[in-house]
Amino acid sequence: DDKKNIEGYVLLATALLKADSTEPASVVLFQAREVDTANVAIFELLGDVYAAEKIFAAAAEQYKTAVHLDSTKPELWMKLADSYKRTRQYADAAGAYARVISLDSNNVIALRSLGDIYLRAKQKLYANALPIFERLSRLQSDSLAVQIQYARALYGTNNCEKFIPVGDRVLKMDPAQNEIQTMLADCFNRTGKIDEAINAYRNVNLDGVSVEKLITLAKAYKTKQVYDTAAIVYQRAYKRDSTRCDLPYDFGTIFMALKRWRDAVGMFERKIACDTSSGYQFASHYNAAVSLMQIDEYREALDHIKKSISYRPGYVQAWVTLARDHAFLKEIENEMDAYKKVIEIALA
């Protein structure tokens, strides 16, 4: 008879919950559970009681029992997922949200929650998030938040071709999205759309841009031969992190293009000091010598050109530069010896 009256317990507990009377509701449900230990509604309502009291770990245990008894109800899995999420058990929450989606493929709340977990993970799971936000972008095409997450997933998977129209769409919806603007500029640059990249970066607050992105922007300006602006951006990156050894050489070549010869020499000497690879040792010494000769510092240039030759003795132009340097210093015999070496290499 008691089992026949179990529905009465459930209805009473439901009414008490609606009235925010969680303690009396729990008493009724405990009594009901003594009568029927396999009733899904009882465990679901007990979970609802604990959730209302913000005891989410206990709520999760009740919902877990409920889905064990009946795994076909997406709303039960959703409650379990939300409880796991509240207790920061994100892996378990992701599994429960996935079960919701397997039962209700267009459940936008579950899709969004699962995608957000992937994108907020310590090691962001962009590839997992991408198909979720791709689907959501069709289901909620007017949602700015969804479009932003879709853009992040595309960018995180290096899918610049698809990112560009999505990034454009986000910025039309909200031009203040600086993160997306930066990503868009970077994607234009990666796909060889240099003019578009430069235009996009004009709308970016460079104070919030990483050193890596600043270098990318500087290289874009350098590619378009906008050397003065490239120098300004490189300077900003170098001030942000002067320990980086990859900056001085490119910075030096930009100074050469601007005919700021002494500044160029300073950058090449920094590269020489931090990078012992033979290729950069040769190139840095050689460019330093060429720059010094432009400001008539022939004696100082001589040391650099000799060192460049020590790294690449078969490079003809270095011997020609050495001969010219000796000529400016009026060291005729040394000049002739250098030209003889040019002929020797040419005939080898």
Chain segment 70-118, per-residue pLDDT in tens: 999 999 999 999 999 999 999 999 999 999 999 999 999 999 999 999 9
Confidence of residue 2 (pLDDT cuts 50, 70, 90): low
Give a three-class secondary structure readout of the chain: CCCCCHHHHHHHHHHHHHCCCHHHHHHHHHHHHHHCCCCHHHHHHHHHHHHHCCCHHHHHHHHHHHHHHCCCCHHHHHHHHHHHHHCCCHHHHHHHHHHHHHHCCCCHHHHHHHHHHHHHCCCCCHHHHHHHHHHHHHHCCCCHHHHHHHHHHHHHCCCHHHHHHHHHHHHHHCCCCHHHHHHHHHHHHHCCCHHHHHHHHCCCCHHHCCHHHHHHHHHHHHHCCCHHHHHHHHHHHHHHCCCCCCHHHHHHHHHHHCCCHHHHHHHHHHHHHHCCCHHHHHHHHHHHHHHHHHCCCHHHHHHHHHHHHHHCCCCHHHHHHHHHHHHHCCCHHHHHHHHHHHHHHHHC
Does pLDDT of 186 surpass 90? no
Q: Is the pTM of this model over 0.75?
A: no
pLDDT of residue 233: 87
Confidence of residue 330 (pLDDT cuts 50, 70, 90): very high
Cβ(206)–Cβ(236) below 8 Å: yes
Mean pLDDT of 183-193: 88
Q: How many CB atoms lie within 10 A of CB 118?
A: 21
Cβ(79)–Cβ(62) below 8 Å: no
d(CA 146, CA 137): 6
Does pLDDT of 1 surpass 70? no
pLDDT of residue 4: 56
- Higher-scoring residue by pLDDT: 151, 207: 151
pLDDT tens by residue, 272-312: 999 999 999 999 999 999 999 999 999 999 999 999 999 99
Does pLDDT of 347 surpass 90? no
Burial class (CB in 10 A: 0-12, 13-18, 19+), 257: middle
